Chains A and B, each alone.
Chain A
Amino acid sequence: MSGTTVSGVSGEERDDFTKAESRQIRARSLRLLGSLVRPVRGRVIATMGVIVLSTALQVAGPALIALGLNEGLPALLERNDWMPIALIVGAYLLTGVAGASLIAVFQIMSARLSQAILLDLRKRVFLHTQRLSLQFHESYTSGRIIARQTSDLDSIRELLDSGLTQLVSGALYMGFTAAALVLLDPTSGLVLAAALIPLVALTRWFQVRSQKLFRQTRVASARLIVQFVETMTGIRAVKAFRKEGRNEQHFGELVEDYRHANARVIQVFGIFDPGLVLIGNVTVAAVLLTGGFRVIDGALSVFTLLSVVLYTRRFFDPAEEMAMFYNSYQSAAAALEKISGVLEERPSVPDPTTPIDLWKARGAVHFDRVRFSYNDDTVVLPRLELTIPAGQTIALVGTTGAGKSTLAKLIARFYDPTEGAVTLDGVDLRKLHPKDLRRAIVMVTQEAYLFSGTVADNIALGKPDATRDEIMAAAKAVGAHDFIESLPDGYDTDVNKRGGRVSAGQRQLISFARAFLADPVVLILDEATASLDIPSERLVQRGLQTLLADRTAVIIAHRLSTVAIADRVLVMEHGQIIEDGTPEELIAGTGKFAQLHAAWRESLV
C-alpha cells in the first residue's frame, strides 16, 4: 500500500491529494454512485415528479394569500361578494391537502428508493470483500473492512435518508419560489439574482474546506473502529496482560482525533450555515428597499410587495436544509471515496472470465514449475515441480516456514502462483469454474472459526442443503457426535449462547465435520488436528482413513502420527522438497524424516 497512487485502497489514509488524484477519486465515486442510481432511475424520476408537484403546491400558498388580500378583500368590501374569497380559500385548502399527501407519499417513496440503493451497495461491498483474496484481507485488516461497511455506509445512508429529500425539495422550492418571484416582480428577481453571487462563492469555499476535513473524519473513524474491534476480539489477552489502562489511553487518543476531526468539520459548517442566512436576510432588506420606493411611487401594490418579501424570505428558507444536504453530501462523498476504493480493488485471485467446467474431478494435482513469492524479496517457493496422483494421501513435513502452508494454500487457490501453474486433472486452477474448484478442493485450517448460529448450521456450511441426517453422519464420522449431543440443545445449540461454549478442540472437530460433509475430491488439512487430544485425534484419524480411501489428500501435521495413514511423505525445507517417498522408505533411511520420526517416537511414552 504505497502512498504514490490512489487506485484501490492505496493512499486511503492520506488527505493531501493532488488535483489529478482528487479528480480520479471523484470520478470513481461518481461512477459508483451512477451505477447505484441507474437500476432505480425509473423510481428516481417518479419520486422527483411527486416532489415537483408537492413543492409547486406549497409555493402556491403565498400567491393565494396575496390573491385573497388583493382580490377577495376588495370584493368583500366593495360588493359584499363572498365568492372570490371563498374560492381562494377553497383552493388554498385543496392545495394544502394535496401538498401534504404528496409529501407523505414522497417520504415513503424516497425511503424505498434510498433503501434499495443501500441494500444494493451493502450487498456489493459484502460480496466484493468476499471475493478479494486473502492477501488483501491480511494487509487491509478486518477492522477497516468493518469500518467501510458500517460507519461509512452510515454516512451514505444519512445522505440518502434525509439528504435526497432536502436536496430535491429544497432545490425545487428555491426554483419555484424564484420563478414565482420573477413573474410577480422582475425587479426583485434581479435583486435575488445578484444575491446568488455571494451564495455560490460561499458554497464553493465550504466545498473545498469540508472535503479535506471529511476525509480526515473517515480515516479517524476507521482507526477508532480498528482499535475497538481488536480489543473486543482479544479481550482475554487484554485482561490477562492488564492492557486495559494502556488501551484506554490509546483509544482515548483515537477518540480525541475523531472528535477533533468532527469538530473541525462542524466549525466549517458553523460558518457556512449562518453565512447563508446572512445573505438571505440582506437580500430581503434589499428587496424591501427597492420595492418600498416603488410602492410609494405607486408602481407596486402594497400587497404585491408583501408577496415579494415573503417569497424572498421563503427562497432562503430551505437554504439551511440545502446546507445540511451539502454537508451530508460531503460526508457521504468522503465515505463513497473509501468504499469505491475497496470496490476498485481487483482480486489478486480473480474468477476466470471463461471458466472451464469440471463436473467430475478425479483429483490429480500437479505443480508445474511453480514459483511463489509474497513480494520481490521473499521467495517462498523457488521452483516447485510436484505431481500428486488422484487418490493419493500425502503427508507434508518440515519446519515452520518451510513453505508447507503456502503449498497447501496454492492448491486451495487462496493464492495464485507467481510463475507456473497449479492444475487439477490437467486444468489450470485459474481457469477452473470457482464452483467446481470449491466443490472439488476443500481446506481445513488450524483456526476453526465458528459463525453465530447453531452447531448444525456451522457443520452445514460444508454443504448448505444438507439434511440433518447427513450432518449427523458427518459429525459421527469425525467423532464429534457425542459431545454435540451433550450440549444443552444438541445440534441446535447456538454456539454463542446457552452453554454453547465449545473448546478449541471441539471447534476443530466441528470444522472437520464441515469438511466431511463437503465431500471434496481433494482434501487439504493444514494443522487441522493440532488442538485435539489424543483420543479425539485417534477418532479423527480413523474417520480419515475411510474418508481418504478414494480421494486425494494433503496433510500438514507436526504430529507424525498422521503420517501413518499417508501413502507418501514429502519433507520440505526452504520451499523445496528434500525428501519424497513412502513412510516406510523414509523411516528406514537416514534422512531428515528418519530423524524427525525417531525424535517423535521418543516423545511418546
Chain B
Amino acid sequence: MSTTQHDRPRLSTAAAIARLYPYAKPAMPRIYLGMVAALLAGVVALAIPLVLQQLVDGPLSSGDATLVGPAVVIVLVLGVLEAVMIALRRWFVLTPGTHVEARMRNALYAKLQDLPVAFHDRWQSGQLLSRAVSDLNLIRRWLSFGLVLLVVNAVTIVIGFGVLVYWNLWLGLLFLVCSIPLWVYGYLFEQKYSVIARRAQDQQGDLATAVEESVHGIRVLKAFGRGKHSLLKFADQAELLRATEIEKARAIAGIWFWLILIPDVAFALCLLGGVALGAAGQLTPGELVAFFATATVLRFPVESIGFLLAMTYDTRSAADRFFEVMDETNAIVDPEHPVTITAPVGRLTFENVVFRYQDAPADRPGTLDGVDLTLEPGETMALVGVTGSGKTTLTALATRLYDVRSGRVLLDGVDIRDLSREELRRHIAMAFEDATLFSTSVRENVLLGRPELAGDDPTVRAEADRVLAEALEIAQADFVHRLPDGVDTTVGEEGLSLSGGQRQRLALARAVAARPAVLVLDDPLSALDVDTEALVEAALRRVLATTTGLIVAHRPSTVQMADRVALLQEGRITDVGTHSELLQRNEHYRYVISSLEDEELAQSEREDRELRLAEEEGRRREAVDRESRVIEREGEAKR
C-alpha cells in the first residue's frame, strides 16, 4: 500500500546518497576533519602493537628493565592520543550533523507547504510524517556516524593490511585472499537488503497513517464501538512490518556470519603459517606477536562493515523517500513576472473552466466541464447545485488550491495564474465548510489573513482589536468572550475544543477579517442554528454590500443573501438569475433548493407510492392466479 512510484531508473547507492550533498555541504569540511581525526585514532590504535613488538623483542628479551618504563609511557601517550582523536571526531562531526538534519527537515516542510492540495490528496500524511521524522533522523546518524566510520574503517583495513604485509608478506597475503568472499557477499547483500529496507520504511509510514486515522477518526470509532476492529487492521499492518523486520534481520545475520567467520578462518590459517614460519626462523616471536596484535585491531573494522553497510542501505532508501517528495514538481507556482492588481475591485470571472481531478479516469467527463460565470464587483453570487456537483471544487479554483485544466479564472481581468499566489490569496479569502482552526489563540486564528496586524505596536494593536471585534461581531462569535481567556484562549487541536457551530463562526470571522476583494464562502452556515444563522446573515449582508461574494448554498435562506444565483449542473452553469426568477423558470433549481412544499411533496409521493404498491400488488395477485391456473391445468393434463 505504499505511495511510491519507481518510474525513474534506479540509481546506484552511491549516486542516490550523493544527492544529499547539497544539504550536507556546509557540514562537509567538519565531516572531513572528523574522518581525519578518526583515521588518526585508527592509526594510533595500530601503532600500539608496534610498540609492543619493540618491547617484546627488545627489553623483555634482553631483560633490560630501564627500557620498560619509556615503552609503557609511549603506549600510554598513544592511548591518550586515541581517546583525544575519538573525542575530536565526535566534536567535529556531530553538531554539524544535527544542522544538516534540521536543514533537510525545514526544506521538506517548506516543500510540503508549497506543494498543491492535489499532492496532499494523494499522499497519506503518515507517510509524510515518517519521512520528516524517522528518515531524516536516520540520514543524520549515517552522515555523522555511518559515513565517517565507513570511510575510516575502510582506510584502516587497507592500512592494516599494509602493516600485516610489512610484518610478513605471506601471512598478509593470506589474510587478504581470505577476505575476498566478503566482498562478493557484500555485493549480493546490497541487492537483497535494499529492497527489504525500503519495504520496511514504507510499511512504517503506513503504520503511522493507521495511527493517525485511528486518532483523527476516534469519534466514529467510538460511536460504533469499533476500537477492537480497527486494532485488528492495525495489528495486521504491524504484523507485516514485523515480518519485514525479521526478514531484514535474516539478511543482516547472513552478512554477520561471513564477517565473523572469515577473519577467524584467516586467523587460524595465519596461526598455522605463522608458527611454521617461526619454526623456519623467518619470523621473530616479537614479529609474530605484533602480527596478531595488528590483526586483532583489524577485527572490529572488518566486523563493523556489515552493520555499516546495512545502515548505508537504510540511509539510501531514506534518501530516496525524502527525494520522492522533494522531486515532486509543483504545477501551481508563482509566475516568473507576477502582475499586481493595485486596487482590486473584485470582478471574478470563470471563463470556459474545465477541471478534472488528477486521478479521475479519462473516460469520464470532468468535474467541471466548461464553466462560464462572471461576478461583478460588489455582487454576491450564490452557487447552488446538488451534492457532488462540483461547487466546492469551483470555489477551490478561485484561489488556485487547484488549477484549471483549461479555460481561465480572471480577477479584475487578470488571469489569476499571472498573480503571485500570495497576492491572489490576499485578494480572495475563503471560509471552508470543515472549519479548520489552528492551535493558537482565537485572536490569531481570526486575524490569520492579516499578518500585518500581528505586531505589538499600540496603533497596530488597536487596529487589530478593532478588526477582530468587527469580524467576531459579524460572525456572531461573541461566545469567545465567555471563554476562559477571552480572545486569547487557545483553541484548535491543542486548545479548547469548540462545537461545530462555534468553529464555523470563527472560520467565517477569519474570512471576513481578511478584508478581501472577493469573499468565497463554502456553505458557511451549515452548522448554525436558525436564530444565529439569521443574525449572521444580516451582518454578512453589510459586508457583502461592498465585497464580491461567492457563496455555496444549500438553504433558501442563504441564497437570499445573494444578488444572483448560479446553478451548477453536470459541470456547467446552466442558469443564472435571481432566486425568484430561477424558482419560476427552472425545474432543476426548484428540485435542488425548494423545500417549501416539502410536506405536500412528501404527501403526494407517499400517495404515489401507495398507489404504485397497490398496483404492483394487484399485478402480483393476477400473476399468482394465472400461475396457479396453469399448474392446475397441467396437473389435470397429467392425470
The verdict on A527 contacting B211 (CB below 8 Å), with A108-B250, A271-B87, A292-B72 known, is: no
User: From A78, which residue of chain B is reached at the shortest CB distance?
Assistant: B279
Additional A-B contacts beyond A239-B113, A442-B224 (12; CB < 8 A): A72-B275, A96-B268, A100-B256, A100-B261, A110-B249, A130-B218, A225-B133, A228-B133, A267-B94, A306-B56, A558-B533, A564-B598
Cβ B293 vs Cβ A310 within 8 A: yes
Which of B356-364, B403-411, B456-464, B623-631 faces chain A? B356-364
The verdict on A69 contacting B285 (CB below 8 Å), with A242-B425, A497-B122 known, is: yes
Complex interface residues of chain A between 314 and 330 (CB less than 8 A to chain B): 314, 317
| B341 in the interface (beta carbon within 8 A) | no
Which of B6-14, B23-31, B97-105, B612-620 faces chain A? B97-105
| A285 in the interface (beta carbon within 8 A) | yes
| Shortest Cβ-Cβ A-B pairs, 10 listed | A438-B225, A281-B79, A96-B264, A111-B249, A505-B387, A130-B227, A278-B83, A107-B253, A270-B90, A100-B261
Complex interface residues of chain B between 462 and 502 (CB less than 8 A to chain A): 479, 492-494, 497, 499-502
User: From B230, which residue of chain A is reached at the shortest CB distance?
Assistant: A130
Contact with B along A64-92 (1 / 0, CB 8 A): 11001100110011001000011011001
Cβ B529 vs Cβ A558 within 8 A: yes
Helix, strand, loop or mixed for chain B's interface?
helix
Which of B191-199, B344-352, B374-382, B427-435 faces chain A? B427-435
Contact with B along A101-136 (1 / 0, CB 8 A): 101110110111001101100110011011100100
Cβ B596 vs Cβ A230 within 8 A: no
Cβ A146 vs Cβ B238 within 8 A: no
Which of A24-32, A39-47, A208-216, A596-604 faces chain B? A596-604
CB-CB under 8 A from B268, the residues of chain A are 89, 92-93, 96
Which of B157-165, B181-189, B239-247 faces chain A? B239-247
* Min distance, Cβ A372 to any Cβ of chain B, angstroms: 15
* Min distance, Cβ B110 to any Cβ of chain A, angstroms: 5
| Residue from B215, B387, B529 within 8 A of A129 (CB atoms) | B215
Cβ A604 vs Cβ B596 within 8 A: yes
Cβ A535 vs Cβ B591 within 8 A: yes
Complex interface residues of chain B between 93 and 137 (CB less than 8 A to chain A): 94-95, 97-99, 101-102, 105-106, 109-110, 112-114, 117, 120-122, 124-126, 128-130, 132-134, 137
| B18 in the interface (beta carbon within 8 A) | no
Cβ B433 vs Cβ A259 within 8 A: no
The verdict on A92 contacting B267 (CB below 8 Å), with A103-B260, A137-B218, A241-B510 known, is: yes
Cβ A127 vs Cβ B227 within 8 A: yes
The verdict on A65 contacting B83 (CB below 8 Å), with A92-B264, A115-B242, A146-B208 known, is: no
| B331 in the interface (beta carbon within 8 A) | no
| Residue from A101, A267, A314 within 8 A of B257 (CB atoms) | A101
Contact with B along A448-478 (1 / 0, CB 8 A): 1101100000000110100000000000000
CB-CB under 8 A from A500, the residues of chain B are 359
Q: How far is the CA of A451 from the CA of B234 in the complex (A)?
A: 12
| B392 in the interface (beta carbon within 8 A) | yes
| B43 in the interface (beta carbon within 8 A) | no
The verdict on A130 contacting B214 (CB below 8 Å), with A123-B234, A278-B79 known, is: yes
CB-CB under 8 A from B168, the residues of chain A are none
Contact with A along B321-351 (1 / 0, CB 8 A): 0000000000000000000000000000000
Q: How far is the CA of A391 from the CA of B497 in the complex (A)?
A: 33
| B63 in the interface (beta carbon within 8 A) | yes
> Which of A239, A401, A537 neighbours the largest number of chain B CB atoms within 10 Å of its CB?
A239
Complex interface residues of chain A between 276 and 294 (CB less than 8 A to chain B): 277-278, 280-282, 284-285, 288-289, 292-293
Cβ B225 vs Cβ A61 within 8 A: no
User: From B435, which residue of chain A is reached at the shortest CB distance?
Assistant: A237
The verdict on A499 contacting B425 (CB below 8 Å), with A77-B279, A99-B264, A262-B98 known, is: no
Category for how many chain A residues contact B = 35 or more
Cβ A142 vs Cβ B556 within 8 A: no
Cβ A274 vs Cβ B83 within 8 A: yes
The verdict on A244 contacting B113 (CB below 8 Å), with A69-B275, A85-B275 known, is: yes
The verdict on A142 contacting B388 (CB below 8 Å), with A95-B264, A100-B257, A285-B72 known, is: no
Cβ B109 vs Cβ A248 within 8 A: yes
| A305 in the interface (beta carbon within 8 A) | yes
* Min distance, Cβ A604 to any Cβ of chain B, angstroms: 5
Q: How far is the CA of A409 from the CA of B497 in the complex (A)?
A: 15
| B316 in the interface (beta carbon within 8 A) | no
| B636 in the interface (beta carbon within 8 A) | no
| A226 in the interface (beta carbon within 8 A) | yes
Cβ A536 vs Cβ B386 within 8 A: yes
CB-CB under 8 A from B396, the residues of chain A are 236
The verdict on A241 contacting B429 (CB below 8 Å), with A284-B75, A535-B591, A542-B602 known, is: yes
* Min distance, Cβ B400 to any Cβ of chain A, angstroms: 8
Complex interface residues of chain A between 139 and 169 (CB less than 8 A to chain B): 141-143, 145-146, 149-151, 154, 162
Contact with A along B22-59 (1 / 0, CB 8 A): 00000000000000000000000000100010011001
